[in-house]
Amino acid sequence: MHGGTAAERARSMARSGQHFLQIPGPSPVPERVLQAMDRQVIDHRGPEFGRLGREVMDGCRSIFRTAGPVVIYPSSGTGAWEAAIVNTLSPGDRVLMAETGQFATLWRQMAARLGLEVEFIPGDWRRGAPPDVIEATLASDRSHAIKAVMVVHNETSTGALSRVPAIRRAIDAAGHPALFMVDTISSLGSADYRHDEWQVDVTIACSQKGLMLPPGLGFNAMSEKALAASRTNRMPRSYWDWAEMLKPNANGFFPYTPATTLLYGMREAIAILHEEGLDAVFARHHHLAAATRAAVGAWGLEVLCQEEAEHSPVLTAVMMPPGHDADHLRKVVLESCDMSLGAGLGKLAGKVFRIGHLGACNSLVLAGALSGVEMGLARAGVPHRAGGVAAALAVLAEPGDGGLRTQERHGKAA
């Protein structure tokens, strides 16, 4: 029996076509990944699993762009956050974080619950983490009391992308030894990211966004500096302990029962990303994002992120006109177009809606999604100009990187 009420089942059966899942994660799972997961589980202590585990772990390193280890937890991204903290820091340690949005705020709350002292750089939720403020704060910390700098790469609640290379340069310019931790939960596999080159100490990620899998896998990539910290820190851990993971990982195994079917899917998702080529994947996402911003501008609405160099390639958060409720618009779009848009989170609830254009999204999918938004704006009575879809199509019809090189230039100059 299908779940839901009889009325809900009737509405579902009456709909034709495919549901548009345009939230910024979980993203739609490609058919190839679904088919790869449609397999019987195997002995997770046997040789076939060892081969699978080694293949997936090696593939993960290629996506994080690291030669170091990547551990895989049966967890959400939140679990990967906790693993990063408990393996490197001690109760009472001071850490520096930036208020870029709802997820940075939640990470701060977790850090405080785990006994860390958090210095939180205030923000307006319309831009990424500020490299200049980070540099000044670290430069003034002459006793090196700050043990880690922790930033969200792509703030899923706002559509702002923090400039990780510029933050790395800020840490170096301050001559500070703090660990550098980066949340790539909504960016890995969709936005350019380089764990080793950008000298990140711990990278946090999960499966259900740019990696195009169902929820259920959390990841930590770690540097030698982070591993050294894990051998001397005093935070209690058991399930999350890197040392316990790394020992069996050397042969492709796990210290406890792994999520075997998700690992099948992960192997296929890695293959898909490499077949397209990571640089091509990132350029595609920037192209889709540029088309989405063109639509928003043509509608006469405002993109939440105010910094051109920090526009997210993963999602676009759109501000509602005063007096109009984003959740009402989302309800109208869902009921009339069978499309899910992302809600405003935290203090943005009801004020913005979010259009996801990540993972397996392509130009035709985005064109359909933006058509649904334009129809929804009209049906919900939201003041706007017509022509957003046409403006997006003009961008999509032209080859290009959607501003990827412009953003790279901004990042290197910052």
* C-alpha span between 271 and 58 (Å, rounded): 12
Provide the b/e sequence for 365-376 (b: ≥16 CB within 10 Å). bbbbbbbbbbbb
Does the annotation place 237 within a ligand binding site?
A: no
Give the Cα-Cα-Cα angle 231, 234, 239 (nearest 5 degrees). Answer: 80
3-class SS of residue 11: helix
3-class SS of residue 165: helix
* C-alpha span between 79 and 101 (Å, rounded): 19
* C-alpha span between 189 and 204 (Å, rounded): 13
Q: How many residues does the chain have?
A: 414
61 contacts: CB under 8 Å, gap ≥ 6: 67, 68, 69, 70, 221
* C-alpha span between 369 and 169 (Å, rounded): 38
Short-list 339, 291, 284, 256, CA closest to 73 = 256
Where is the binding site for substrate, in residues?
354
Binding residue ranges: 354
